[in-house]
């Protein structure tokens, strides 16, 4: 696909992407087009290449072959540091080492740093935005709680609020529900649904290998197996018993109720 033919509502476009490391193909001929306001799930077994693909889409890796265009910019022809400031990245393994409060963690999203920048004073509008995002993610009562005292679920929601601080058009979530109990997972997914409802122009890509971790607002899905796309498109057409079973190489029955997916073996 030539650069000129990509319409402005294309947020992400990967075209026949290979990613080879140490002679091993981590991604093999992967193509994906994500439009404004779509909510994609990247699904597949461990080692399928999901996080590798997410790192490409987040401008943290370059393809060996093929092209990746992010927010209208082609990888290899763009300042990636600048591009990354327009992408909200949520990594549950956030390497924070100091005991910052929820509010302070969210404010680091304004500077794009892990720690608060010394002698940096947030503007009034940044403080207001941080508090709005803390409220949106259901953390107002915990705004002054410190990182070591937060549950895994509270940390996850704080990191989503942090990623949204610069108001990015694109949000990437790498297994955000990992390690959460059922109640914490449901709070996280409800917050994601609410966020997507309030920001209809926000585009998201979420990586998981558990279908129960998909919010009801998931619109599209891509199944990845051994670095190759097994199926891609509207979530209801991709997340079927037949295709998911093929993806995981195991008989898995897929059901959907109240907008949520469930997977049972056999």
Q: What is the pLDDT of residues 229-239, one digit of tens each?
A: 999 999 999 99
Fold of 96-167: Helicase, Ruva Protein; domain 3 (1.10.8)
In the predicted model, what is the mean pLDDT of residues 6-30?
90
In this model, does residue 64 exceed pLDDT 70?
Answer: yes
Cβ atoms of 187 and 138 closer than 8 Å: yes
In this model, does residue 8 exceed pLDDT 60?
Answer: yes
pLDDT class of 108 with cuts at 50, 70, 90: very high
Sheet of strand 228-234: strand arrangement: 87-90, 170-174, 203-208, 39-43, 220-225, 228-234
Cβ atoms of 54 and 43 closer than 8 Å: no
Which part of the chain is CATH 3.40.50.300? 3-86+169-265
Question: What pLDDT score was predicted for residue 39?
Answer: 97
In this model, does residue 2 exceed pLDDT 50?
Answer: no
Question: What pLDDT score was predicted for residue 11?
Answer: 96
pTM (2 decimals)? 0.91
In this model, does residue 263 exceed pLDDT 90?
Answer: yes
User: Where do runs of H (alpha helix) occur along the chain?
Assistant: 50-57, 80-84, 102-111, 124-136, 152-164, 182-198, 235-238, 241-248
* CATH code for the part of the protein at 3-86+169-265: 3.40.50.300
% of the chain with per-residue pLDDT over 90: 78
In this model, does residue 111 exceed pLDDT 90?
Answer: no
Which part of the chain is CATH 1.10.8? 96-167
In the predicted model, what is the mean pLDDT of residues 154-173?
94
For 138-150, write each residue's pLDDT tens digit: 899 999 999 999 9
Count, residues in the chain: 266
For 188-217, write each residue's pLDDT tens digit: 999 999 999 999 999 999 999 899 999 999
């Amino acid at each position: 696909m030539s650069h000129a033919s990509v319409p402005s509502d294309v947020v992400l476009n990967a075209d026949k992407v290979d990613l080879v490391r140490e002679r091993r193909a981590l991604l093999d001929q992967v193509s994906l087009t994500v439009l404004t306001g779509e909510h994609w799930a990247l699904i597949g077994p461990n080692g399928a290449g999901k996080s590798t693909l997410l790192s490409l889409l987040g401008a943290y890796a370059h393809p060996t072959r093929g092209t990746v265009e992010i927010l209208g910019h082609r990888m290899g022809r763009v300042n990636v540091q600048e591009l990354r400031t327009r992408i909200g990245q949520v990594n549950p393994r956030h390497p924070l080492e100091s005991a910052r409060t929820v509010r302070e963690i969210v404010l680091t999203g304004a500077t794009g740093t892990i720690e608060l920048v010394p002698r940096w004073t947030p503007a009034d509008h940044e403080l207001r935005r941080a508090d709005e995002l803390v409220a949106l993610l259901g953390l107002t009562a915990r705004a002054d709680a410190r990182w070591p005292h937060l549950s895994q679920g509270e940390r996850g929601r704080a990191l989503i609020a942090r990623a949204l601080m610069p108001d990015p058009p694109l949000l990437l979530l790498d297994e955000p529900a990992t390690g959460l109990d059922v109640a914490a997972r449901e709070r996280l997914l409800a917050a994601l649904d609410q966020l997507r409802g309030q920001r209809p122009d926000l585009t998201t890509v979420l990586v998981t290998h558990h279908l129960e971790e998909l919010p009801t607002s998931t619109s599209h899905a891509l199944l990845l197996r051994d670095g190759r796309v097994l199926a891609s498109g509207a979530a209801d057409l991709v997340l079927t018993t037949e295709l998911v079973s093929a993806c995981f190489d195991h008989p898995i029955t897929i059901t959907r109720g109240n907008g949520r997916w469930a997977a049972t073996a056999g």
